[in-house]
C-alpha cells in the first residue's frame, strides 16, 4: 500500500476564549501524592472553544458533526497537552468525556501519516473496547485513520485479517492483545502512543502482568496517556513506572459522583427486592433502567422475576457470549427492552445516552464501585436517578458509601417493603 501524504502543518492553538462555565465540582488534587509523579495542570474555570485547541480541519469537522459545542473540562485541559506530545495522567469521574480527551489528539496526530500501527489503547472490558473503537471511527471519519478492535469472546480470523491489512490504531483488551502478539499478528515496533484507559479497573481485574508484558515490547520514547476514574496506590505505581513526568489533569474530587445524579436508598429485606423493583417499575416513570446485581445467577433471577410480571428485561454478564452481550446492549440502547440487569461488567464502558435510572439491586462491595455504577446515568450533564436497595446486612456498606460521597443519602420507605 503506497504511503499516504502527510497533512498540512497543524495550526497553533489560539488563546483561550472567555466562555465561562460552572466548575464547582473541581477541587485541587492531592499535591503531596501527585507532585512526585509529574506536574499538576492548573485548574482553569474558563473553557476554550473547540476552534482554539488547534485540531485539524478534518477533525474539527467530525467534532461539529457530533454536535459538540464546547469541550468538557477534562477535554479542554488534556487535549492541548496530548497534542504537544506530553504524557498525561487524567483523573475524572465517569461520564465526563475522557474517551474524547485521548481519541481526538490521537486522530489529529495520525491523520495523513503512514499506514502502520502507531497507537494502542488498552481497555479492561470488551464493551469499553467497542465504545473506544466507535469513538475513533466517529472522530476519524474524515481524517483517513483506520482502527481495529481486538477483544476476546469472538473469532480470531476477522481480527487477523484486519491486522494483516494494516491499521493505524488498535483498541484491545490485554488478554486478546497478548494472544495476537504470540501468534505474530502484530508488531509494536513503530508504536508512538500508548493509552491505558480505565487503569484502575484494569488493575482491579488482575491485568497488571499482561500490561507489563505488552508495555515491555514498546519503545520507552513513546507518548503515554493514562486515564482513570480513581487513583488507588496501584494506579499511582503504574504511573510512576510507565509515564515520564506527566501532566496530571484532575476534574472533580477522586471518588466523586456526578452532581447531576439524585440518590435514594430503599430499605428492604433481601427476599423482597425483586417485588420492590417490580412495584417501582409499574408505578413510576422509569424509562430506561440499568439494574446491578452482585452475581451472574442473581441477574438471571431478577430477569425471570421481571418477566413473570410482564416487564421486558434481559441480562448481561460474563456467562453470556459476546453476541448475546451485544444483542442485549443493542436492545437496551434502542429501547426494545426497558430494563437491563447486569453484573459489574457493565459499570465501566457502557456509554448509552438516556439511561434514566440506575438501581443497585445489591449494594456494591466497595464504595468506588458505587461511583462507577451510578456513572451510567446523569452523563454529559443530563440528570438521572440512582436507587439503592438496602437489606439489613448492607447498612454498614451504605454508610461507607455516604462517607465517601460526603453526604447522607435520603431513605425512602415504601409501605409493605421497609424492614422497619
Q: What is the CATH number of the domain that holds 372?
A: 3.40.50.300
Does a structural domain hold residue 269?
yes
Alpha-carbon distance of 106 to 169, in angstroms, equals: 9
- Does 274 share its domain with 238? no
- CA end-to-end span of the chain: 71
Q: Which of these three, 185, 219, 251, is where a domain ends?
A: 251
Grid cell 461507607 in the structure block, residue: 400
The whole-angstrom distance between residue 206's C-alpha and the CA centroid of its chain comes to 18
Q: Which of these three, 222, 251, 280, is where a domain ends?
A: 251
Does a structural domain hold residue 14?
no
Grid cell 459499570 in the structure block, residue: 347
Sheet (strand 223-228) strand order: 39-40, 247-251, 88-92, 223-228, 193-196, 119-122, 169-172, 147-150
- What is the three-class DSSP state of 78? helix
Does a structural domain hold residue 391?
yes
Alpha-carbon distance of 372 to 404, in angstroms, equals: 13
- Does 171 share its domain with 223? yes
Does a structural domain hold residue 164?
yes
94 and 371 Cβ atoms separated by less than 8 Å: yes
Alpha-carbon distance of 232 to 229, in angstroms, equals: 10
Q: Residue 14: what pLDDT?
A: 32
- Does 282 share its domain with 193? no
Strand pairing class (39-40; 193-196): unpaired
Strand pairing class (357-360; 289-292): parallel
- Does 75 share its domain with 211? yes
- Does 393 share its domain with 336? yes
The closest alpha carbon to 160, from 138, 182, 193, 141, belongs to 182
Does a structural domain hold residue 371?
yes
Does a structural domain hold residue 9?
no
- Does 37 share its domain with 153? yes
Q: Residue 26: what pLDDT?
A: 36
Supply φ then ψ for residue 297, to 5 degrees: -65, -35
The secondary structure of the chain in percent helix, strand, coil, rounded to multiples of 5, reads 40, 15, 45
- Does 179 share its domain with 320? no
Does a structural domain hold residue 8?
no
Helix ranges restricted to H, 247-390: 273-283, 296-308, 322-334, 367-374
Q: Where are the beta strands (DSSP E) in 268-312?
A: 289-292
Does a structural domain hold residue 416?
no
DSSP letter, residue 7: P
148 and 159 Cβ atoms separated by less than 8 Å: yes
**Residue 242, C-alpha cell as written in the block:** 510507565
- What is the three-class DSSP state of 108? helix
- Does 246 share its domain with 265? no
Alpha-carbon distance of 128 to 38, in angstroms, equals: 27
The closest alpha carbon to 124, from 211, 219, 218, 241, belongs to 211
The closest alpha carbon to 155, from 330, 316, 322, belongs to 322
Q: Which of these three, 251, 271, 302, is where a domain ends?
A: 251
Domain that residue 399 falls in:
261-405
- Does 349 share its domain with 371? yes
Overall domain count for the chain? 2
Q: Residue 419: what pLDDT?
A: 85
- Sign, CA dihedral 346-289-95-386, equals negative
Grid cell 469541550 in the structure block, residue: 71
The closest alpha carbon to 101, from 227, 250, 248, belongs to 227
Grid cell 472553544 in the structure block, residue: 49
- Does 137 share its domain with 232? yes
Q: Residue 45: what pLDDT?
A: 58
- Does 239 share its domain with 266? no
Q: Residue 380: what pLDDT?
A: 44
The closest alpha carbon to 194, from 175, 211, 176, belongs to 211
374 and 306 Cβ atoms separated by less than 8 Å: no
Q: Which residues of the chain have pLDDT under 70?
A: 1-36, 38, 41-46, 94, 252-260, 345-353, 376-383, 420
- What is the three-class DSSP state of 291? strand
Torsion, CA 226, CA 231, CA 237, CA 243, rounded to 10: 20
- Does 243 share its domain with 274? no
Amino acid at each position: 500500500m503506497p504511503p499516504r501524504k502527510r497533512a498540512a502543518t497543524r495550526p497553533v492553538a489560539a488563546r483561550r476564549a472567555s466562555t465561562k462555565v460552572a466548575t464547582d465540582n473541581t477541587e485541587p488534587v492531592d499535591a503531596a501524592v501527585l507532585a512526585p509523579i509529574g506536574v499538576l495542570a492548573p485548574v482553569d474555570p474558563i473553557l476554550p472553544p473547540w476552534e482554539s485547541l488547534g485540531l485539524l480541519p478534518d477533525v474539527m469537522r467530525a467534532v461539529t458533526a457530533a454536535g459538540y459545542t464546547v469541550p468538557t473540562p477534562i477535554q479542554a485541559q488534556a487535549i492541548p497537552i496530548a497534542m504537544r506530545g506530553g504524557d498525561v495522567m487524567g483523573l475524572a469521574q465517569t461520564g465526563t468525556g475522557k474517551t474524547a480527551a485521548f481519541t481526538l489528539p490521537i486522530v489529529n496526530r495520525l491523520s495523513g501519516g503512514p499506514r502502520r500501527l502507531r497507537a494502542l489503547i488498552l481497555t479492561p472490558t470488551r464493551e469499553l473496547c467497542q465504545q473506544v473503537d466507535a469513538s475513533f471511527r466517529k472522530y476519524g471519519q474524515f481524517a483517513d485513520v483506520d482502527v481495529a478492535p481486538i477483544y476476546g469472546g469472538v473469532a480470531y480470523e476477522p481480527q487477523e485479517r484486519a491486522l494483516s491489512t494494516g491499521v493505524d490504531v488498535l483498541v484491545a483488551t490485554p488478554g486478546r492483545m497478548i494472544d495476537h502478539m504470540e501468534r505474530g499478528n502484530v508488531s509494536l515496533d513503530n508504536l508512538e502512543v500508548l493509552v491505558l484507559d480505565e487503569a484502575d479497573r484494569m488493575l482491579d481485574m488482575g491485568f497488571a502482568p499482561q500490561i507489563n508484558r505488552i508495555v515491555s515490547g514498546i519503545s520507552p520514547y513513546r507518548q503515554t496517556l493514562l486515564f482513570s476514574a480513581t487513583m488507588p496506590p496501584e494506579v499511582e505505581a503504574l504511573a510512576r513506572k510507565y509515564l515520564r513526568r506527566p501532566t496530571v489533569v484532575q476534574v472533580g474530587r477522586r471518588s466523586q459522583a456526578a452532581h447531576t445524579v439524585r440518590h435514594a436508598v430503599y430499605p428492604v429485606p433481601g427476599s423482597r427486592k425483586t417485588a420492590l423493583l417490580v412495584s417501582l417499575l409499574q408505578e413510576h416513570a422509569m424509562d430506561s433502567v440499568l439494574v446491578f446485581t452482585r452475581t451472574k445467577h442473581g441477574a438471571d433471577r431478577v430477569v425471570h422475576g421481571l418477566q413473570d410480571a410482564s416487564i421486558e428485561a434481559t441480562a448481561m454478564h460474563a456467562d453470556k457470549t459476546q453476541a448475546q452481550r451485544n444483542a442485549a446492549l443493542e436492545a437496551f440502547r434502542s429501547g426494545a427492552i426497558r430494563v437491563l440487569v447486569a453484573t459489574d461488567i457493565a459499570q465501566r464502558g457502557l456509554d448509552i445516552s438516556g439511561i434514566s435510572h440506575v438501581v443497585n439491586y445489591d449494594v456494591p462491595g466497595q464504595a468506588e464501585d458505587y461511583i462507577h455504577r451510578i456513572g451510567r446515568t446523569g452523563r454529559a450533564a443530563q440528570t438521572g436517578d440512582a436507587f439503592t436497595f438496602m437489606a439489613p446486612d448492607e447498612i454498614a456498606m451504605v454508610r461507607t458509601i455516604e462517607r465517601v460521597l460526603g453526604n447522607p443519602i435520603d431513605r425512602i420507605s415504601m409501605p409493605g417493603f421497609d424492614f422497619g
